[in-house]
Amino acid sequence: MKNILDTGIKNAKNVNRYIFGSGSLKEIANLVHPIVDDPNDYCIFFVDEFFRENEEILQNLNLKCKHHIIFVTTTQEPTTTYVDALNKKVKKLDTRLPKVIIGMGGGITLDVTKAISNLLTNPGSAADYQGWDLVLNPSVFKIGIPTLSGTGAEATRTCVLTNKENGLKLGMNSDYSVFDQIILDPELIKTVPRDQYFYTGMDAYIHSFEALNGSYRNPVGDAFSRIAIDYAKQVFNSEDIFSQDNRSKLMVASYMGGSAIATTYVGVVHPFSAGLSVVFGFHHCVSNCMTMRAMEEFYPAEYSEFWRMVKKQNIDIPKLHGNKEVTESHYDQLFASTIIHEKPLTNALGSGFREILNPKKVRELFMKI
Ligand code: ZN
């Protein structure tokens, strides 16, 4: 029987090009103009709604070509329905497809950008492409500009979407989901609220240690993961997590962590975290941090290290119990939406993961969260 972890991703694809450095956002015009060179052509910006009140950042981009700006809702994690609606909206803008699409924001905005770029050149709806290597045609040229660091969405070959109809939280894992170009400008993460900076930054740390503790490995991915962990630890063990040096390090950690995950799988944390997001709507990165309360037996060293950093930075990690009423039906849903992630769970615990994570055990673990 073929190992379910063997998806054939042997020929790893990373982002084609990247620009790194403070102030590098202003390079956007130089990148877009050569591609959008016909006056009838245009590009589209998908911008995190966080920047609605900070529009000068967009006005300073000096774009001479035709362009549209679409604000992306980030109060909720993206659903397949949301992406389908946005795709329809984009198709109504013009008879031509955009020449370039640019995503500027956190993981949600970047993932929405990737999903739309795939859907513009592929028939059907978002749910048709949730899985591995289902996207048929190359997507529209896309540029990613992260304004939050940690999830690694700027580097990964996926864009995570929740399908509310079947409770599946799964991305379009495809080489076509990878950005053609990214801009890493540490100035852009200066204004992130402190707790969010921590939650998001920790995503790089968490998925990297999950990868390194898993059975499905790639030596290049391992090297990326080690750097991501090392940098995240340097940032969150320091006195000033927002220093210029630390913002640069966190951007690199995020990029490295995202590049690592392209060649491997996460472990136990992400499936539990996905359960919290699907059932209770907690955002991905805060869900990961909450899940860490139940992870001592799976990742003892990282468990201690994580909670030391939380304490040092005096970060508030919300509790499920106390925040939400958790009913029996919720526990059933939590179990279902956790255990569905068979690839990461196999990576962490082996093909017999269902014997370890039976409903009673999963319930006990969620009780700790
Ligand atoms: Zn993650």
Which is it for strands 66-72 and 42-48: parallel, antiparallel or unpaired?
parallel
The rounded Å distance from CA 92 to ligand 1 centre is 33
State the sign of the Cα–Cα–Cα–Cα dihedral 275, 276, 281, 285: negative
CA 285 to ligand 1 centroid distance, Å: 6
50 Cα to the center of ligand 1, angstroms = 21
CA of 274 to the centre of ligand 1 (A): 9
- Determine the distance separating the centroid of ligand 1 and the alpha carbon of 344, expressed in angstroms: 12
Q: What is the pLDDT of residue 1?
A: 47
| Burial of 137 (C-beta count, 10 Å sphere; 0-12/13-18/19+) | exposed
CA of residue 96 to ligand 1 center, whole Å: 35
* Residue pLDDT, tens place only, 360-369: 999 999 999 9
Which pLDDT band, with edges at 50, 70 and 90, does 8 fall under? Answer: low
Share above pLDDT 70 across residues of the chain, in percent, rounded to a whole number: 98
Given a cut of 70, whether residue 348 has pLDDT beyond it is yes
Distance (angstroms) between ligand 1 centre and the Cα of 204 equals 7
Across the range 9-24, mean pLDDT stands at 89
User: What is the C-alpha separation between 251 and 22, in angstroms, rounded?
Assistant: 11
Express each pLDDT in 177-234 by its tens digit: 999 999 999 999 999 999 999 999 999 999 999 999 999 999 999 999 999 999 999 9
> Whole-angstrom Cα distance, residue 131 to residue 108?
18
Instruction: Note the pTM of the prediction, 2 decimals.
Output: 0.94
pLDDT at 273 over 70: yes
Q: How far, in Å, is the centroid of ligand 1 from the Cα of 122?
A: 26
